Amino acid sequence: MNESERRKKWLIISLSVLCATLVFSCHDLFNSDDYKIKKLEVSPTEALPLAYGDLSIQDILSSQDSQYVKVYPDGLVYLDYDQTLRSQSIRDLVTIKDKTNIVGVIPAPSGTLPAVINDTPSNQVTIVDSFNLDPEKITEILLKGGQLAYSVALAPANPNFKFAVRITLPEFKDASGGQFSIETTGNSNTVQLDNCKYISATANKVTVIYTLILKKNPNTVFVAPGTTITASVSFSGMDYKYVKGFFGNQTANLNSETINIKAFGNSLLDGADVSFAQPKVELQVINQVGVPTRVTFSTLEARKPGGSLPVNISPASPVSILFPTVMGDSALTAISVTNANALLKFAPTQFFYKASAEINKGLSSGNNFITDTSELKIRMHVEVPMYGHASHITLADTVEIDLSDADRSEITEASLRVKTSNQIPLSANLQLYLTDGAYKILDSLIVPAQSNIIKSSAVDAAGEFVSAGVVDESIPLSSDVLKKLFTAKNIIIKAHVNTTQNGNTYPDVKFKSSYKMDVKLGLNVKAKIKVDL
């Protein structure tokens, strides 16, 4: 059973009960021989509730805003938004380039070599090279990927010469933490560098030690003079979990970004004239990169269809960003928006920025670090205390009604009964529109002079609650309106809302979570009932 059916049933039951009461209470009178009453006609008045309940500021705010509603310790309601505008990694500034063909030529002992009882180290060649990095000066890397390719070739070929080459990388530790070393007997191969660590007191230095190993051989062997072993290693695809050193002065151009703003106080900003007393809008830069950084905003603005508004910040661009000194930490830099109130009144639908991040500005040395998860995040934080003033707020809703089955011929008079007690500093002019099934307006229920149904609470100079606004009145409904009420299919409820007004001014008022608006709407109906006796 829908609401209209319940109300109709209630009306019928109420009138029936009243009629039965009258009949039974007058039973003796009706049966008296002195009185021969054939018919009784009465016109009782019934009050039918249409709506009742209480509202708080949380109820009045848009459902889009409800998830952002919070309350300060003093009870003041505020809206709190946090949106990450962009999570931009500047990790690409530091990459470990491939290093190919670090070659060492080892002279082999020549002549007739005696038998070798055990594997024995022989000649050794050390090659000192450098990773191709500029301006980075790297002193430590923990690798999470990459390959070391190596090859060994004997010239001239001699199948009787038993040898191997040990390749040692002094700046590298293997995955177990030991000295990185491999031994090969010839040809080409690769080894993975996952979880290997590079540590060097000299930045970017890479050393390769090639050691000739004479392998165990029970036979003598002749090695021609000038015989050599050419060994080579190459690093490729190196990716890191972290890297330390000094990364030089570099600039990363962050991708320009347009962010749709889903909520900025939808209830109070949609076409309204709003002024907040203490709004707070700030950009927060969260830096996980251990390097001095400054961000330059070449474009920073709020946008909506048909216009844009520059976002003014303090400190001004370029902004020096705090940075962590321990890996795994992050540092937050708050950038205040100095035109926050204008920004909120503008009611933007988008936020756009284009920026660059420069590291180590003016520095020639330092202890920098970056990890594979290090990011530079730019987040927008908006905090809007419900403290201020507003006008021309419009709230609207539509409900279905259906009184077509009711016998309206029995109803002779009707009026709308309104009772409100309001602690919230909002007043409202309310109008109810009757529409047909196609939402064409048939009539309105309230004459304009009586539409000020919700009276605001009174406040003091600080915007604090003093006393509730009270309304208790009946609004007659004409017979023509009553007729249309029975044919209407919908009621559009529309309210024009303002904060407390002193003369022609709107003082700043506070909306606290404890403030309530009690509303009771009813329909007083007078019906003519005839009873045959």
Confidence at 527, pLDDT banded by 50, 70, 90 = low
Please provide the DSSP assignment of 78-124 as one string.
Answer: EEEEEEEEEEE--GGGS----EEEEEEEEEPP-EEEPPBSS-EEEEE
Indicate whether 320 pLDDT > 70: yes
The alpha carbon of 223 is separated from its chain's Cα centroid by a whole number of angstroms, namely 74
The whole-number pLDDT of residue 238 equals 95
Ranking 72-76, 131-135, 361-365, 416-420 by mean pLDDT, the lowest is 416-420
The whole-number pLDDT of residue 53 equals 63
| Percentage of the chain modeled with pLDDT above 70 | 80
Ranking 77-86, 145-154, 168-177, 363-372 by mean pLDDT, the lowest is 77-86
Indicate whether 98 pLDDT > 80: yes
Confidence at 486, pLDDT banded by 50, 70, 90 = confident
Q: What is the DSSP letter of 255?
A: P
Ranking 67-81, 118-132, 204-218, 221-235 by mean pLDDT, the lowest is 67-81
Please provide the DSSP assignment of 368-393 as one string.
Answer: EEEETT--EEEEEEEEEESEEEEE-E
Confidence at 49, pLDDT banded by 50, 70, 90 = low
* C-alpha closest to that of 127 among 99, 182, 169, 155: 169
| Cα atoms in the 13 Å half-sphere on the side-chain side of 206 | 25
Average pLDDT of the segment spanning 294-311: 91
* C-alpha closest to that of 284 among 379, 367, 357: 379
- Give me the residues paired with residue 222 across strands: 112
Q: What is the DSSP letter of 408?
A: G
* C-alpha closest to that of 429 among 494, 492, 496: 496
Distance CA 58, CA 424 (A): 11
Distance CA 295, CA 142 (A): 28
Are 366 and 278 in contact by the 8 Å Cβ rule? The answer is no
Distance CA 212, CA 409 (A): 116
Contacts of 459 (CB under 8 A, 6+ apart): 425, 465, 466, 500, 507, 509, 510
Confidence at 505, pLDDT banded by 50, 70, 90 = confident
Indicate whether 111 pLDDT > 90: yes
Are 387 and 508 in contact by the 8 Å Cβ rule? The answer is yes
Average pLDDT of the segment spanning 223-245: 96
Q: Report phi then psi at 246, rounded to 5.
A: -120, 125
Distance CA 52, CA 163 (A): 97
3-state secondary structure of 2: coil
Q: Which two tokens stand for residue 167?
A: 């390749």
Confidence at 2, pLDDT banded by 50, 70, 90 = very low
Mean pLDDT of the chain: 81
The whole-number pLDDT of residue 7 equals 41
Instruction: Assign residue 59 a region (left: φ > 0; alpha: ψ between -120 and 50; beta: otherwise).
Output: alpha
* 421-431 pLDDT, tens digit each: 888 888 878 78
* Residue 314 burial (C-beta neighbours within 10 Å; 0-12, 13-18, 19+): exposed
Are 492 and 484 in contact by the 8 Å Cβ rule? The answer is no
**C-beta atoms surrounding 443 within 10 Å:** 17
Q: Which residue has the higher pLDDT, 264 or 121?
A: 121
pTM of the entire predicted model: 0.68
